[in-house]
């Protein structure tokens, strides 16, 4: 695989981000789009057992906390007993929304990530966390990517949003709007909440794959909960190694699709003139929405 300058840069930042400076994934076998083969036979019985424990814990927590679309898709995915075979899931997913899963060694450069999303390919990490990381892991592993992200890709509106996000990302990288787009991704795809007749529900993968945050985000009095507004979200900083201090709430996935459809070029210009907001900001006039009853 050719490592051009930005890729060497990419690996340096990955090593800085990882806890012991070592890359978790094996990037030596990936192609120019950072895609690898999922060597399903290489998973050990202990890894499948860890997958089952992770899955069982989350499957018990998400009813009444995850949005209905997530629950309906998860029920159809039959992924409880062992680490899923990505090609089998792709068969069902492709029929539903034209998306496919591509196996990757871990985080890939933004540009590559956006290109995959823009072509309806979702990158899923092939390695599974260690037992001691059961409750928390910084880098996305196969459990986070598959359990957290894949179910919603079966929903046509959310699937359209993800393709649009990828296309927006390719554009943003040309307009130096990447940090804005990353915040948008973080506060929706990773940590988004949705309003329903039964109260707040989670749709963000970072929440849905987390043992503790799936309750915290809905009922804990400490974080803010603010109505979603794309420009406001793109100004708001986030933390990658603690529960969120603010969650943004959409009315439905259609709103997400529509609010991120416009051309963001003028928005990036406007944002350059405004200071970024701390993760726990509540702006004058904003309502801190009430949590669900505990």
CB of 268 to ligand HBI, least distance (A): 15
CB 215 within 8 A of CB 65: yes
Contact flags string 170-199 toward ligand HBI, x per CB under 6 A: ------------x--x--------------
35 touches Fe ion by CB under 5 A: no
Residue closer to ligand HBI, measured from CB, 105 or 291: 105
* Residue 249: φ, ψ to 5°: -115, 120
Q: What angle do CA 106, 109, 111 make, to 5 degrees?
A: 135
CB atoms within 10 A of CB 84: 22
Residue 100 lies near ligand HBI (rule: CB under 6 A):
no
Whether the CB-CB separation of 231 and 266 falls below 8 Å is answered with no
Determine if 101 is a binding residue for ligand HBI (CB under 6 A): no
- Is residue 281 near ligand HBI by the rule CB under 6 A? no
- Give the tokens for residue 259: 């609010």
Q: Which of Fe ion, ligand HBI, none sits in contact with 205, Cβ below 5 to 8 A by type? A: Fe ion
- State both tokens at 183: 């915040």
Which residues ranging from 113 to 172 are in contact with ligand HBI (CB under 6 A)?
Answer: 113, 123, 140
Judged by beta carbon distances under 5 to 8 A according to partner kind, the member of Fe ion, ligand HBI, none in contact with residue 107 is: ligand HBI
| Sign for the pseudo-dihedral over CA of 66, 68, 72, 73 | negative
Rounded least distance, CB 196 to ligand HBI, Å: 25
* CA-wise closest residue to 69 among 260, 294, 252: 252
Q: How far is the CB of 185 from ligand HBI (least distance, A)?
A: 4
Query: Of 148 and 291, which has the nearer Cβ to Fe ion?
Result: 148
CA 23, 26, 31, 33 dihedral sign is: negative
Is residue 104 a contact point for ligand HBI (CB under 6 A)? yes
- DSSP H or E segment with residue 156: helix 156-174
| Residues within the interface to Fe ion (CB under 5 A) | 140, 205
| Residues within the interface to ligand HBI (CB under 6 A) | 104, 107-108, 110, 113, 123, 140, 182, 185
């Amino acid at each position: 695989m050719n490592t051009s300058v930005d890729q060497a840069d990419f690996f340096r930042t990955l090593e800085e981000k990882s806890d012991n400076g070592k890359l978790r994934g094996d990037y030596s076998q990936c192609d120019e789009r950072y895609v690898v083969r999922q060597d399903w036979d290489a998973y050990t019985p202990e890894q499948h057992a860890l997958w089952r424990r992770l899955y069982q814990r989350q499957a018990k927590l998400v009813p009444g906390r995850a949005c209905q679309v997530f629950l309906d898709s998860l029920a159809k995915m039959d992924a409880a007993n062992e680490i899923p075979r990505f090609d089998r899931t792709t068969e069902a997913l492709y029929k539903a929304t034209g998306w496919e899963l591509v196996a990757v060694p871990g985080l890939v450069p933004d540009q590559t990530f956006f290109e995959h999303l823009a072509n309806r390919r979702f990158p899923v990490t092939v390695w599974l966390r260690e037992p001691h990381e059961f409750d928390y892991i910084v880098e996305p592993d196969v459990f986070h990517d598959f359990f957290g992200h894949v179910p919603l890709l079966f929903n046509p509106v959310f699937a359209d949003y993800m393709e649009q996000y990828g296309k927006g990302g390719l554009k943003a990288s040309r307009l130096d709007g990447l940090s804005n787009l990353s915040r948008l991704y973080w506060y929706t795809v990773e940590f988004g909440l949705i309003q329903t007749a039964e109260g707040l529900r989670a749709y963000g993968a970072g929440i849905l794959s987390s043992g503790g945050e799936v309750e915290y985000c809905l009922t804990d009095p400490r974080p803010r909960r603010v109505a979603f507004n794309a420009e406001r979200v793109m100004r708001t900083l986030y933390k990658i190694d603690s529960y969120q201090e603010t969650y943004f709430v959409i009315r439905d996935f259609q709103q997400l699709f529509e609010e991120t459809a416009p051309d963001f070029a003028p928005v990036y210009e406007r944002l350059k003139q405004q200071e970024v907001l701390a993760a726990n900001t509540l702006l004058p006039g904003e309502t801190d929405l009430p949590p669900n009853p505990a």
